[in-house]
Amino acid sequence: MNPKLVKWEEPLFELLREVDCKLEEEFGDILPKHPSRPAHGVTSNPQNDGLFRVSANFTAGFGSDHGKGYSLEMDFVTLKPVSAEQTATIEARAVALIQSRLDQAMPERKLKVKREANCWKIVGDLSLD
């Protein structure tokens, strides 16, 4: 993997781990986690434990109004149905946390979280300089 890409993505993924942990603290008891999933804090990566999995994947942005960016994924890892209201509340909190910490995590990038159809996307200066 390109070392510049790894260096660029490290603070983003660290931010997402922090947001995952914050969501666990605030909402981790609203639904039972999937029975095969370890308790929050057991693994070295919060994407692999607890109720939530917060991640981002690069997208080239073909057909997008915002262009290239990182598509955010905010998953509930449970067997129980998640209501639209619960999803909207937790998604809004996650987006607010991410947006509030982007400038600190990746200064001078002018990154923003934007809504793109039915998903959220981090857009802005994605250069590897």
Give residue 117's pLDDT band: very low, low, confident or very high (50, 70, 90).
Answer: confident
Residue 11: predicted pLDDT: 96
Model-level pTM? 0.92
Residue 58 in any domain: the answer is yes
Residue 59 reports pLDDT greater than 90 = yes
Residue 121 CB coordination number (10 Å): 22
Phi and psi for 30 in degrees, rounded to 5? -75, -25
| pLDDT average, residue stretch 102-112 | 94
| pLDDT average, residue stretch 13-41 | 95
Domain count, the chain: 1
Return the percentage of the chain with pLDDT > 90, whole number: 88
Which residue range forms the structural domain that includes residue 83?
3-123
Report in angstroms the alpha-carbon separations of 87 from 1, 47, 75, 101, 109: 34, 17, 9, 21, 29
**Are the beta carbons of 41 and 95 closer than 8 angstroms?**
no
Residue 73 in any domain: the answer is yes
| pLDDT average, residue stretch 6-19 | 95
Residue 40: predicted pLDDT: 93
Report in angstroms the alpha-carbon separations of 96 from 43, 92, 122: 25, 6, 12
CB contact set of 77 (below 8 Å; sequence gap of 6+): 33, 34, 37, 50, 51, 52, 53
Residue 105 in any domain: the answer is yes
| pLDDT average, residue stretch 2-16 | 94
Beta bridge partners of 57: 71
